[in-house]
Amino acid sequence: YDISRRSRSNFYRSFSLLSLHRRRAMYALYAFARLADDWSDGGEKGPGERTADSSVATLGDWRDWIADLYAMPPSAAKANVPILAPIRPALADAIQRFHISRSTLDRLLDGIEFDCREPVRMESWPSLVRYCQAVASSVGQG
């Protein structure tokens, strides 16, 4: 909730039109996407602030964290992604309640991976389409 509210995005206001459970799910999904995007831009020691510090999460850690959410039974996250800890219960509930496919969150991370490249270059039209589907379209798909 707080991440959506603090972002001052128009999404926050639109979420108020949803039922309680859908609104909570959207807060969790938005928080995951916002945190991932901020991380890819270098916030919370993401790719823009690479260090030798082994406690800094990698994109692989994010992928492992997501895999843990889909594990049966759910387990505590193996990967150390501290900024995701507060949203874990809400995101896990959203995934279970609304049957959000793992591929949806994986596609979003694929987009983050594109954004981590310096500079982002598309060699072909199909590459650009894949990038757009990962970066923007994954948010609206489920």
Q: Three-state DSSP class for 113?
A: helix
What confidence score (pLDDT) does residue 134 get? 73
What are the helix (H) ranges across the chain? 2-7, 10-15, 20-40, 59-70, 88-98, 102-116, 125-132, 138-140
Overall pTM > 0.85: no
What confidence score (pLDDT) does residue 41 get? 75
Residue 131, both tokens: 């990038």
What confidence score (pLDDT) does residue 5 get? 60
Kindly list the averaged pLDDT for each block of 10 residues, start to end, along the chain of length 142: 64 81 91 86 54 59 89 63 88 93 89 74 83 67 54
CA atoms of 99 and 111, how far apart (whole Å): 21
